[in-house]
Chains A and B, each alone.
Chain A
Amino acid sequence: MSDFIVGIVGFLFTIMILSYLIGDNFLFRLAVHIFVGASAGYVATVAIHQVIMPYLIVPLIQGSMKERTLLAIPLILFVLMLMKISPRLSWMGGPAVGYLVGAGAAVAISGAVLGTILPQAGAAAQPFDWLHNPNPLGTLINGAIMLVGTVTTLVYFQFGAHRAEDGSVKRNALVEALAWVGRLFVALTLGVLFAGVFSAALTALIERINSLLALFGF
């Protein structure tokens, strides 16, 4: 029974969202508002039960003195963050926001450097290690293509130019050629991304229609 009700509700909301095909309307907005509200409520509940309670309230009540002393700092920062609600006292939440931003930036930067830049750079150079590749030609071509695509894409975003004799603005011929190639790689990349988005959306649509059909016995 619950599944049937859930199915009916899901069907209705699906129809309401698909009504956007005819334009912005009340049903679509109603569905959006309900979804946002429900999500906000669920998130708030999860945050209270899985973050504030176990991380702040319970340790302050049941924790040792050391834990309570250590929790004073996040508690103060928590209160300061609440000051962001008042425009007059929002300046008090500055330190907490600064700490969050600083800590997040540090983690992100370290991870990006250690987890993306260095490994990716090594991986980009690996195809050119034809000595240790079992298929050096294949890897070499792959590497070259990858290299060309990378370089030309970077050249495409290079806007240094000079004024020609006729008054028009033109870049260097080599740069212009490489930029043209880079434009192709950019276009291919955007195409692939678009295809992936389309595939994901199509899959979501199929799943929804399948759910509706299953609800009605199909």
Chain B
Amino acid sequence: MADILCPHCGMPNASEQGVCSFCLKPLSGKSAEVYRPGEAPTKKTTAELESVLPEWLREAREKARLADAEKTAQETQAAAERPAPKKEEPPDFLAGLASLGKDDQDDEIPDWMKTAPPVSAPSIEKEKTFPRRQEIRWEGDGVTDEVGGLATTPAASENGDAMLPWMHSSEASSENEEVADWLKKAAAQEEERPVSPFPTGALQPPVTGELTDWLDQVSSESAEKPAAQEDGSLNDWFANLPRGETTPAAEETSEPFDGGEISLPNWMQRDEPAAAANEESPALPSWMGTFEPSAETKDESAAPDWMTRERPFAEPQQELDLPAWIGPFGETDESKSEASTPEWMPHTPFAEKEETGLPAWMDGTSDAKSEPTAPDWMTRDVPFSESQAKDESETPSWMGAFGESAAQTENTSEAAPTQSFELDSKFDLPSWLGSLESTEPAQGSIEPPPADWPAPSETKAAPPDWMDVFRDAAPAAETPASPEVPHAAAFVPAEMETPQDGQADDLFSSDMPDWLSNIAPSELKSAEAKEPTQQNIAPAELPSWVQAMRPVETALPSEPALTVEGPLEDRGPLAGLRGVLPLAGIIQPGKPKPQSIRLQADEAQQASAALLEQMLAAESEARPLRGGGAIASQSALRWAITAALLVIVVLSLATRLQITPLPTSLPAESASILPTLELLPEGAPVLMIFDYDPALAGELESAAVPLLDRFLASRRPRVTVLSTSPTGPALADKLFAHELKDLAYQSGTEYLNLGYLPGNNAGMLYFAEYPRKAIPSSAWDLPAAQDVTRLGDFAAILLFTDQSETARAWIEQTSLQRAGRPMIVIASAQAAPMILPYAQSGQIAGLAGGLHGGAIFTSSAAESPARAYWDAYQFAALFAAAMIVLGGLWNFFAGLRARRQGME
């Protein structure tokens, strides 16, 4: 059978289906989504988007599906392989659904069948997308007790489908595969795991006293109840169950509703006859088949003992406090008889009929139309009362106790308005119950119990705990919730499919048992009235500690606590407030005035500064030369000049060319040197100061040697050498050792070298005042300076220097202490111009500068450095002068030419 993929959820569905079994949306036609701009996006499932998924993801999903399918197949196979204990097959309560379905003119698949999940694709997605039908569990009972799925606490379904486990079909028909599968599963599961409904865990009902109190109470109270028909009260409604007929609804469903393999709780399970009955009616679940009033099912040995013997809860229940809706199920003494079926079962519409074995409402062949499709207990209009309970043979005995409490309000019950119990969208009943709707909802208007029924709290006996499940549907005001125990509804309406229109009413039609229709009908309506918008869960009763955790809204005071007088502030951060202290000009609101960091200067000052800046710039900028173009290579010219100069000098020196005459005229500053020195007495102490650098030693020596040769040779003074330069004494020794070696001055007697004089100007001054202290040495005792105690004791001072500053310092510091003694300065050519004023002012006796100064004191016949250097000096100087002149002329004529070109 080809599967059709639902365009909405992407789940496979049978081709015959028009509505998806999972999302209950049409499979064709309307499935095409039309996207309109502006609309809210529709929620998509992953299955719908599978085409756009990446390949690896699709493969993973496919593998997951296959794995799930394999797992399901294995489970199914394992369930099929295990022989189902026919003895334990419970009666198929819903076997009559097939008959009901036949009577229905509507050939569509009932909702409860549609919701049956396909066997081929039980997957995790189903669990996520579809709600879980949770089983109601007996509270306090740790064992799962699948009492038709109605009396157990919520439990997760293994398959993830929306069906109760006991609803799973054991056999799958060829036509309705889906229904059969799930029924099969349920039966297989129940077969595998027999669940004891009793706290002891035994499958057999315990002896009186072991069950919960309410059962005991029920049994005690039911002593006055009309006894159930032992002979077949249970069998009656069992007989009413359809046999071997597939109801139209069942045919249309994917899974036929045959109760052959449905696993029911043990107390509902029958022996083999029940299983056989189920086999005869493959459309019914197995558990429902066991309820067929076959002769075999009457075999007490096959039924659990507790179902056959005197039921402990059949004992009179005194002071039993039961909820009102349980009333119809009031138990009677007769129900405690050793009927093969529970007392209540005969009272249920699922009681077998002698004729068909199925309850009338489930037997399609019976006069379902004429007769109420639902058992009488489901179609009862009159509130439950004791008398009604007696009259109604279908009322199970265990439910009789509830009827007693209803009987107490018999008087008021009549006056109670008959409320047609309508299935509300809020009240979630399983969808499979929707098939029990009759075409004549008017026939089966289940009246809820009257509102003035005594509450459970009014009775002496407290209802059992499992009854609290049903009590949750009641409004919170009526029954205050227990803070300790969370309450939950018997069904989880939010996860269940809301029945379609019309099904709600049909659900609680006359064909439905009262115990189903009376599930908090009043509470439903009250809840609906209070929360009309809420579709699903009844308002829960929050415990007090949860209520205390609610966030408390902090309400701001609408008015200020204190009223302040004063002007209203209209600007600034305090706008809107009163009583604000005025600024009074202290603080200026707003942004402070920016202060300039620039120098504050007036226009006159700025003008003067600009003027000065321009003048300085004009002085420092280089004016462009007016003339010819610069020589391309300056380095070549430089090299040429250098080479020429070297050639001249070398040639002059090498050839000892002495063709240039020595200067004969003495300059004025040098004219008085020789006469001054000639006037000195012989052997007079003379101070010679050598303050020049070794770099210019050649020049100084060339300038000093001619003079010293003449002076030392003529007067033979005693020379005391001093220097303010560390290298001076060494130069003095070199001069006397090499240049004046011919004079043969003897160290110590004629020549005394005092060495280095530290302190620069201060040292000069100190020496000028205290020569022996300035240079403390034992050489002062030598004959060369034995009579010198002060500077004035020296006959003359000869200063040899290459720096004008040194000369100036000596001149300045010794001017007073010399006492008219002559000072002669032999200076370098570079310092002589600066020392000349001192000579012209008479502060010094004479000045000889450079090689020229030495040359004037050299005779042409004498061999002196000056003579040797003079020719080379002259030629080199001449060459330099020529270069200067030629360069000047070149620039001059080049400038003229450029100017002429510029003018042109």
Least CB distance, A16 to chain B, in whole angstroms = 15
Residue pair A206, B869 in contact (C-beta under 8 Å) = yes
Residue pair B726, A46 in contact (C-beta under 8 Å) = yes
Interface positions of B from 647 to 676, Cβ below 8 Å from A: 649-650, 653-654
Question: Quick one: CB contact mask for A87-114 with B, threshold 8 Å, 1 for yes?
Answer: 0000000000000000110011001101
A46-B726, A169-B618 as given contacts; A208 in contact with B698, CB under 8 Å: yes
Distance, CA A203 to CA B802, complexed state (A): 13
- Given A159-B612, A218-B653: 16 more A-B contacts, CB < 8 Å: A42-B727, A55-B758, A112-B812, A116-B808, A119-B843, A122-B841, A159-B615, A169-B611, A169-B614, A192-B833, A196-B850, A200-B850, A206-B698, A207-B702, A209-B653, A218-B654
Least CB distance, B852 to chain A, in whole angstroms = 8
| Interface pairs (13), CB distance under 8 Å | A50-B755, A54-B776, A104-B761, A107-B813, A115-B811, A159-B612, A161-B615, A196-B829, A196-B831, A196-B832, A200-B830, A200-B850, A206-B653
Residue pair B760, A104 in contact (C-beta under 8 Å) = yes
Tell me the nearest residue of chain B to A201, going by C-beta: B830
A107-B813, A116-B808, A200-B802 as given contacts; A206 in contact with B830, CB under 8 Å: no
- The residue that A206 contacts in the complex, of B639, B696, B777, B876, with Cβ under 8 A, is B876
Residue pair B815, A207 in contact (C-beta under 8 Å) = no
8 nearest A-B residue pairs (beta carbon): A115-B812, A207-B698, A111-B812, A123-B841, A199-B829, A203-B699, A196-B830, A46-B726
Distance, CA A209 to CA B698, complexed state (A): 11
B642, B811, B829, B850: most-surrounded residue (chain A CB, <10 A): B829
Least CB distance, A64 to chain B, in whole angstroms = 14
Question: Quick one: CB contact mask for A159-171 with B, threshold 8 Å, 1 for yes?
Answer: 1011100000100
Residue pair B758, A204 in contact (C-beta under 8 Å) = no
Q: Judge if B877 is at the interface, Cβ distance under 8 Å.
A: yes
Q: Judge if B842 is at the interface, Cβ distance under 8 Å.
A: yes
Q: Judge if B442 is at the interface, Cβ distance under 8 Å.
A: no
Residue pair A163, B611 in contact (C-beta under 8 Å) = yes
Distance, CA A174 to CA B655, complexed state (A): 57
A43, A196, A211: most-surrounded residue (chain B CB, <10 A): A196
Distance, CA A112 to CA B727, complexed state (A): 26
Interface positions of A from 8 to 53, Cβ below 8 Å from B: 21, 39, 42-43, 46-47, 50-51
Least CB distance, A216 to chain B, in whole angstroms = 10
Tell me the nearest residue of chain B to A47, going by C-beta: B726
Interface positions of B from 294 to 337, Cβ below 8 Å from A: none
Interface positions of A from 182 to 218, Cβ below 8 Å from B: 189, 192-193, 195-200, 202-211, 213, 218
Residues of B within 8 A of A103 (CB): 762
Q: Judge if B455 is at the interface, Cβ distance under 8 Å.
A: no
Least CB distance, B776 to chain A, in whole angstroms = 6
Q: Judge if A120 is at the interface, Cβ distance under 8 Å.
A: yes
Residue pair B843, A213 in contact (C-beta under 8 Å) = no
Tell me the nearest residue of chain A to B618, going by C-beta: A169
Least CB distance, A147 to chain B, in whole angstroms = 14
Distance, CA A112 to CA B872, complexed state (A): 39
Q: Judge if B837 is at the interface, Cβ distance under 8 Å.
A: yes
B residues touching A (Cβ–Cβ < 8 Å)? Answer: 607, 611-612, 614-616, 618, 639, 642, 646, 649-650, 653-654, 695-696, 698-699, 701-702, 726-727, 755-756, 758, 760-762, 765, 776-777, 802, 808-809, 811-813, 815-816, 828-834, 837-838, 840-843, 849-852, 865, 868-869, 872-873, 876-877, 880
- The residue that B851 contacts in the complex, of A119, A189, A197, A199, with Cβ under 8 A, is A199
Tell me the nearest residue of chain A to B852, going by C-beta: A199
Distance, CA A213 to CA B655, complexed state (A): 11
Residue pair B776, A209 in contact (C-beta under 8 Å) = no
Residue pair A200, B727 in contact (C-beta under 8 Å) = no
Distance, CA A66 to CA B462, complexed state (A): 127
A115-B811, A115-B812, A208-B698 as given contacts; A203 in contact with B850, CB under 8 Å: yes
- The residue that B699 contacts in the complex, of A107, A114, A122, A200, with Cβ under 8 A, is A200
Least CB distance, B610 to chain A, in whole angstroms = 9
Tell me the nearest residue of chain B to A103, going by C-beta: B762
Residues of B within 8 A of A189 (CB): 833
Tally of chain A residues near chain B (CB < 8 A):
49
Residues of B within 8 A of A208 (CB): 698
Least CB distance, A193 to chain B, in whole angstroms = 6
Residue pair A42, B726 in contact (C-beta under 8 Å) = yes
Distance, CA A210 to CA B654, complexed state (A): 8
Tell me the nearest residue of chain B to A111, going by C-beta: B812
Main DSSP-derived SS at the A contact region: helix
Residues of A within 8 A of B829 (CB): 195-197, 199-200, 203
Least CB distance, B637 to chain A, in whole angstroms = 13
B612, B841, B849: most-surrounded residue (chain A CB, <10 A): B841
Distance, CA A204 to CA B828, complexed state (A): 11
- The residue that B650 contacts in the complex, of A119, A159, A161, A213, with Cβ under 8 A, is A213
Distance, CA A183 to CA B101, complexed state (A): 135
Distance, CA A203 to CA B868, complexed state (A): 11
Residues of A within 8 A of B811 (CB): 115-116
Distance, CA A115 to CA B843, complexed state (A): 8
Residue pair A202, B612 in contact (C-beta under 8 Å) = no
Tell me the nearest residue of chain A to B728, going by C-beta: A46
Residues of B within 8 A of A21 (CB): 639, 642
A21-B642, A200-B802, A204-B696 as given contacts; A123 in contact with B650, CB under 8 Å: no
Residue pair A193, B653 in contact (C-beta under 8 Å) = no
Question: Quick one: CB contact mask for A107-144 with B, threshold 8 Å, 1 for yes?
Answer: 11001101110011011000000000000000000000
Distance, CA A133 to CA B41, complexed state (A): 125
Residues of A within 8 A of B831 (CB): 196
Residues of A within 8 A of B698 (CB): 203-204, 206-208, 211
- The residue that A202 contacts in the complex, of B615, B832, B842, B880, with Cβ under 8 A, is B880
Distance, CA A119 to CA B809, complexed state (A): 14
Residue pair B756, A203 in contact (C-beta under 8 Å) = no
Distance, CA A203 to CA B832, complexed state (A): 14
Distance, CA A196 to CA B699, complexed state (A): 12
A46-B726, A50-B755, A104-B761 as given contacts; A120 in contact with B699, CB under 8 Å: no
Residues of A within 8 A of B808 (CB): 115-116
Residues of A within 8 A of B762 (CB): 103-104, 107
Residue pair B758, A51 in contact (C-beta under 8 Å) = yes
Tell me the nearest residue of chain A to B761, going by C-beta: A107
Distance, CA A61 to CA B91, complexed state (A): 137
- The residue that B815 contacts in the complex, of A114, A161, A199, A203, with Cβ under 8 A, is A114
Residue pair A209, B649 in contact (C-beta under 8 Å) = yes
Tell me the nearest residue of chain B to A54, going by C-beta: B776
Residues of B within 8 A of A43 (CB): 726-727
Residue pair A213, B654 in contact (C-beta under 8 Å) = yes
Distance, CA A189 to CA B654, complexed state (A): 35
Residue pair B650, A115 in contact (C-beta under 8 Å) = no
Distance, CA A114 to CA B814, complexed state (A): 10
Residue pair B727, A207 in contact (C-beta under 8 Å) = no
- The residue that A204 contacts in the complex, of B618, B695, B842, B865, with Cβ under 8 A, is B695
Residue pair B813, A115 in contact (C-beta under 8 Å) = yes
Residues of B within 8 A of A192 (CB): 833
Distance, CA A208 to CA B654, complexed state (A): 13
Residues of B within 8 A of A122 (CB): 841
Least CB distance, B813 to chain A, in whole angstroms = 5
- The residue that A199 contacts in the complex, of B618, B646, B765, B850, with Cβ under 8 A, is B850
Distance, CA A111 to CA B812, complexed state (A): 5
Distance, CA A176 to CA B568, complexed state (A): 76
Residues of A within 8 A of B761 (CB): 104, 107-108, 111
A196-B829, A196-B831 as given contacts; A203 in contact with B765, CB under 8 Å: no
Residue pair B873, A206 in contact (C-beta under 8 Å) = yes
Distance, CA A192 to CA B834, complexed state (A): 10
Residues of A within 8 A of B776 (CB): 54-55
